[in-house]
Structure 1
């Protein structure tokens, strides 16, 4: 894995604070445990990468931004603590854009992270490095976080599997009512195995769900007969859904239908007022947090972020309350619609990966359009995954989103595994030779 990272990183820039010597020492300790029949479990000795906003003791947490003070973390955050207890080996942290505010990779702290399938394209965000690392073969297990699509969008762009668990399923610091932590892997079974560990309790997260020992790895083939699957192809965005994305997602639905599932096309259920309220709430939240930075820190923010703050108009408390009320209306409507189905199928993103340097697919429209399919399930707290369902003519992966009812994380994994078995043979992963060649070109 270390050799792979060394070979690919000059082109990808997916890592931060790599810890090669410590990782090799931990690997030797794990080897000793296995030889002595005293392993800590199935993740003992398995290399992992962890998104840099998930604190690991002794390593600064820049949050993707040069504006952050580089103070070493005093403790492991819950996901990192659980992985260490299970014997997993942290090889490197992975990159993210400034404060995780983009569904793309531009960062004022990290070099620009690129997509292994096409170095001119973005890996998505904000779990940019995690998804790029998974696609490039930087080990089997990767941890990301998701507040509006930050696991699923990069997973979709990079052709890997990403699970946004139910809100509160994985303890996290600092807890927030939209944020979740989850796995990014090449295969569904690896994500399920990670969830056995990541979902263990941690009392520091006072907003987490009560722990349940769910059958995470019971991924026996799902009988699709009788399942009702909603199919959403238009989420009401100003950004049109790419025809190749529509074709790939529709094709996946037809394959599932041929196995006995009932496919029910549904119209967008999120009204413009709800979407605008969500956008206002998120922008005000970001602006308020970033304005607390010292003036010299604000000057170090990525220019994109500084411009967004400057454009954000001041609103009064009543307007903020109305925006929050719209977010709650979106939550209510999403859970109501989803309750009529076993799962909801949709694209992950309106289009495939866009240019690496851009901060969103269409700067004239803005980032909210990039997250129209994903953010509703953050608001509702429902589990949702991204899994590849096809490729564009240019060879870019296309993600299928599978969203489940509230708390049905295992169901999402099982249907994802069923699709993994049914889908056409995926394309070969980008090799280090391909990545090197593209970088030289």
Structure 2
């Protein structure tokens, strides 16, 4: 039984290209076939680039490999980009049927770097309205569907990116995240993901908490995208200075020997203290990862809750006010086109006054201060493990896991803090519930130690957890 080219990892593709065992055209052709097979059901793409465009990119890469002049080690590997990652000439509606999307005139740093590395871009993947749903629901795209089970949510807002990864549309996929939008679909679709340190991957529109980051079926593929995308860019005034990082060397430690968590201080956080508390199977999976670190010689310490509901409610109010500003500028007939859940949620910001909005904004700083203090009180941790979300994948027909009683954002309690502190936070797929739904665990690193986080994730991820590709989609 052999793995079809579309389902190889980026490292395997690169090695195949370099050795002449595999060609970018062969890979691109097979990836396009997988998309043809699955896309009518899954709806992962907002813009699927024209067949001849994709094949021309693959042929150009193949020519570079033949002449010994690849643009990078990853020349010819395929990639998808979320629809809010600017690509010149590609409209960016942010998943919303009510807006007249503007097509940017220039590529974002992410899109530009993919081209500069020779990656074969397949298209732009879907997201829900304005990125404000943790599901595949969109007033513009309809519903993006999980390849694991159509009755389970995809998560969001990087819903299309997650589905493309889980369905085997090649190895590399880029999402964005301001409170969990990379990590939530990753955990509910059985993927690995990384929300990198703030400023690690430059953005075309930076703002508080926002990052772009990789989603993939393997941790090593996250490292490949970090190798392509990280580094400063003049377009992003928040981008970090240049740093020499051996992103794909996941086995090596900083001292030159093999990487090990021996001697590290690792926190385990399973009681949030606000939002919805995690279900027992999610807690058990988290503690199993902590136990694995302990077995490898790490010191594991328990973290008590340090945040309260008022912090999350304040951030929610600020986001409502921001979205109300977008919604209120639309004509009434246009407002009616916005997803009903998002529109109703945004309208709750209509009555907020300036003082209330500013008070809500201060919740971000409160969260930052409390989270940094908790990390320090725990003994200046090296890593932290926690649930990604309180629940496994919820029913696909719901726009949010807890959509009633004002609990719309209560599921981001474990993911949100790290957007605001700027620390890297990744996810690994570690198991299945009794009914087969994926369970992901979050690993958080020290600020700027994205590589250490990836090394820890590679250590704990099991090799036996089935994926959508493994379940009938991976062999020829």
TM-score (norm 2): 0.87
Q: Does 1:389 align with 2:430?
A: yes
SS in 1 for 2:48: coil
Deviation digits for residues 153-173 of structure 1, max 9, x if unmatched?
011111111100111111112
Instruction: Please give the residue correspondences for 1:133-172 in structure 2 after superposition, counting only pairs within 5 Å.
Output: 133-172=164-203
Cα distance between partner residues in 2 of 1:41 and 1:433: 33
Contact 2:190 / 2:467 at 8 angstroms: preserved in 1?
no
Q: Report what 1:14 is aligned to.
A: 44
Q: Does 1:375 align with 2:416?
A: yes
Q: Report what 2:229 is aligned to.
A: 198
How far has the Cα of 1:237 moved from its partner?
3.3
Contact 2:231 / 2:240 at 8 angstroms: preserved in 1?
no
How far has the Cα of 1:374 moved from its partner?
0.3
How far has the Cα of 1:432 moved from its partner?
7.9
Contact 2:247 / 2:451 at 8 angstroms: preserved in 1?
yes
Cα distance between partner residues in 2 of 1:275 and 1:306: 20
Match of 1:94 among 125, 138, 151: 125
Match of 1:403 among 426, 438, 444: 444
Q: Please identify, of 338-347 and 200-209, the stretch whose mean Cα deviation from structure 2 is larger.
A: 200-209
Q: Does 1:51 align with 2:51?
A: no
How far has the Cα of 1:334 moved from its partner?
1.0
Cα distance between partner residues in 2 of 1:59 and 1:310: 30
Contact 1:360 / 1:366 at 8 angstroms: preserved in 2?
no
Q: Report what 1:427 is aligned to.
A: 466
Alignment RMSD (CA, Å):
1.7
Q: Report what 2:298 is aligned to.
A: 261
SS in 2 for 1:183: strand
Q: Does 1:346 align with 2:383?
A: no
Contact 2:175 / 2:213 at 8 angstroms: preserved in 1?
yes
SS in 2 for 1:385: strand
Deviation digits for residues 168-200 of structure 1, max 9, x if unmatched?
111112111111001111111111111122113
Q: Please identify, of 121-130 and 259-268, the stretch whose mean Cα deviation from structure 2 is larger.
A: 259-268
Gap change, CA 1:272 and 1:432, over 3 Å in 2: closer
Cα distance between partner residues in 2 of 1:217 and 1:434: 27
Match of 2:111 among 64, 80, 101: 80
Deviation digits for residues 247-297 of structure 1, max 9, x if unmatched?
111112112211111111111111232222222222222222332334443
Cα distance between partner residues in 2 of 1:431 and 1:291: 46
Q: Report what 2:255 is aligned to.
A: none
How far has the Cα of 1:213 moved from its partner?
2.7
TM-score (norm 1): 0.94
Q: Report what 1:418 is aligned to.
A: 459
Number of residue pairs the alignment of both structures matches:
433
Q: Does 1:324 align with 2:357?
A: no
Q: Please identify, of 359-368 and 120-129, the stretch whose mean Cα deviation from structure 2 is larger.
A: 359-368
Gap change, CA 1:32 and 1:430, over 3 Å in 2: closer
Q: Does 1:363 align with 2:442?
A: no
SS in 1 for 2:138: coil
Cα distance between partner residues in 2 of 1:304 and 1:323: 21
Q: Report what 1:439 is aligned to.
A: none
Instruction: Please give the residue correspondences for 1:118-129 in structure 2 after superposition, counting only pairs within 5 Å.
Output: 118-129=149-160
Cα distance between partner residues in 1 of 2:375 and 2:161: 29
Match of 2:259 among 219, 222, 242: 222
Cα distance between partner residues in 1 of 2:59 and 2:473: 32
Q: Report what 2:25 is aligned to.
A: none
Q: Does 1:3 align with 2:3?
A: no
Cα distance between partner residues in 2 of 1:144 and 1:38: 29
SS in 2 for 1:33: helix
Contact 1:4 / 1:432 at 8 angstroms: preserved in 2?
no
Match of 1:184 among 206, 210, 215: 215
Cα distance between partner residues in 2 of 1:317 and 1:3: 53
Contact 2:64 / 2:70 at 8 angstroms: preserved in 1?
yes
SS in 2 for 1:154: helix
Q: Report what 1:438 is aligned to.
A: none
Cα distance between partner residues in 1 of 2:242 and 2:139: 38
Q: Does 1:233 align with 2:233?
A: no
Q: Please identify, of 211-220 and 402-411, the stretch whose mean Cα deviation from structure 2 is larger.
A: 211-220
Q: Please identify, of 406-415 and 81-90, the stretch whose mean Cα deviation from structure 2 is larger.
A: 406-415
Q: Does 1:310 align with 2:347?
A: yes
Contact 1:105 / 1:113 at 8 angstroms: preserved in 2?
yes
Contact 1:103 / 1:367 at 8 angstroms: preserved in 2?
no
Match of 2:311 among 274, 285, 302: 274
